[in-house]
Amino acid sequence: MNDTVLKPTLVIRQYTQLHPYADLFDEMKTLTNERDADTPDQLWILQHQPVLTQGQAGKPEHILLQTDIPVVQSDRGGQVTWHGPGQMVIYFLFDLNRLKWNVRTLVSFAEQLMIDLLQAYGIEAYAKADAPGVYVAGRKIGSLGFKIRRGRSYHGLALNIDCDLSGFQSINPCGYAGLEMVRLCDLLAAYPSFEQLCDQVVNYFKSREDFSDVQVITR
């Protein structure tokens, strides 16, 4: 009898246009609620229209100034953060039980993905045990927050490429007063584009053994 467990398929959606946060938030919840044991895992790579998202236990005092940037209440972990053009967002819609991952595995994977992407350009980035995310010389370049429902994950990470950092100036980023944010364009004279980083992410997943097949859909 063959007891080999088949590895899941991964479908990567690569979005070419800016997307409203609320629309994809609703779609993530719907997919998570309706998926079954045979549903392929998905990874969404995109950029959002400008938005502030507040975590499930987010404290309103971390929004320092009222601006014209919309604020959306989310159900992910963490506090308030900003998303917008020039920032790569990656959403992980994974069946953790099927992958035999726990929450810590997922968080560490997301952090290591960003660290490895940056390492390819000679940038020494690192994670912090007491403050999830990825940092370069004390400044935060990558944020993350997840929601797990019935062993399935959604939400994910955000990596700053060449975004307008003024979006962070009206908040305590991730709930940390005075936390300085940094971007790839601050660290490299010639930095990769969003599209180049998308290709790297796709190749990163194709090189791993967690999935039997990786399919890419451009939307």
185 is catalytic: no
Reference 46, options 92, 106, 87; nearest CA is 87
Q: Which helix (H) or strand (E) holds 105?
A: helix 103-119
Sequence-distant (6+) residues with CB within 8 A of 130 are none
Separation CA 184–CA 177 (nearest Å): 22
Opening angle at CA 141, ends 137 and 142, nearest 5: 130
Separation CA 145–CA 75 (nearest Å): 9
Separation CA 58–CA 10 (nearest Å): 31
Kindly list the catalytic residues. Answer: 174
